[in-house]
């Protein structure tokens, strides 16, 4: 599996390009602000063809370039229905300070082809299987994507966690649509049951593993174990 990434825009959002191998179709995950050129560079470098754009949630730092990336490659955009309204009104999910940081006057349109995600939905995109987990808390429509990771024997899956789980931390819940008890419930029911050998590729910062976060992440220490 080919997984290439770069931090995009002023918030340093990790944008991922995922393919089975160079020269194949690919999936773009979370093309945020200023991500279009970075995606184009990786596509050219690895001779890829984007066919789908996956959005972990509707915050502007994760979806700013969804429409131009999807439209530029005639790709399908995927988002959870609870966050779909943020594709055209991302300011509804932002704090006042974030709006000031964004600056300028912008208008957003949905991509031509938008499809909605459901909990535990399985997608087969660009020859790769993705399992969707609905993980509300950071936003109402936050999701993660898990995919088999066959390249290294010590890892079973890779999880694109968006702003649910970071190395040593979790996503904030003080923005519109956020809710801390819901976030804790998502972590308890969707993260704690996972195998320790799953690689976590978060929306910001460095990669980690479920096992490492289970032991070291203070936000996971007091969560009730799932039944």
138 compared with 101, residue with greater pLDDT: 138
Q: In this predicted structure, what is the pLDDT of residue 215? A: 94
CB 136 within 8 A of CB 144: no
Over the stretch 117-167, which tens digit does the pLDDT of each residue have? 999 999 999 999 999 999 999 999 999 999 998 776 778 899 999 999 999
Return the minimum-mean-pLDDT range out of 40-54, 102-116, 201-215: 102-116
Residue 99 has pLDDT above 80, yes or no: no
Q: What is the mean pLDDT of residues 55-64?
A: 95
pTM: 0.93
Q: In this predicted structure, what is the pLDDT of residue 150? A: 75
Whole-number mean pLDDT of the chain? 92
The per-residue DSSP string of 116-171 comes to: E--TT-EEEETTEEEEEEE-TTSSTT-EEEEEE-TT-TT--EEEEEETSEETTEE-
Closest CA to 180 of 132, 138, 126: 138
Fold of 2-92+108-220: Metallo-beta-lactamase; Chain A (3.60.15)
């Amino acid at each position: 599996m080919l997984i290439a990434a770069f931090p995009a825009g002023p918030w340093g959002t990790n944008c991922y390009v995922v393919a089975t191998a160079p020269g194949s179709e690919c999936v773009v995950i979370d093309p945020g602000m200023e991500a279009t050129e970075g995606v184009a560079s990786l596509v050219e470098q690895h001779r890829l063809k984007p066919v789908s754009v996956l959005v972990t949630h509707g915050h502007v730092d994760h979806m700013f370039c969804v429409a131009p990336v999807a439209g530029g490659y005639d790709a399908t955009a995927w988002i959870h229905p609870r966050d779909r309204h943020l594709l055209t009104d991302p300011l509804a999910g932002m704090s006042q300070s974030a709006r000031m940081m964004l600056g300028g006057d912008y208008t957003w349109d949905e991509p031509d082809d938008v499809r909605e995600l459901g909990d535990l939905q399985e997608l087969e995109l660009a020859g790769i299987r993705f399992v969707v987990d609905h993980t509300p808390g950071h936003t109402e429509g936050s999701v993660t994507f898990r995919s088999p990771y066959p390249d290294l024997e010590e890892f079973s899956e890779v999880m694109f966690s968006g702003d649910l789980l970071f190395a040593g931390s979790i996503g904030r819940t003080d923005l519109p649509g956020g809710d801390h008890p819901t976030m804790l419930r998502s972590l308890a029911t969707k993260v704690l049951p996972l195998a320790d050998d799953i690689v976590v590729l978060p929306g910001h910062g460095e990669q980690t593993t479920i096992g490492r976060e289970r032991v070291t992440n203070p936000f996971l220490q007091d969560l009730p174990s799932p039944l």
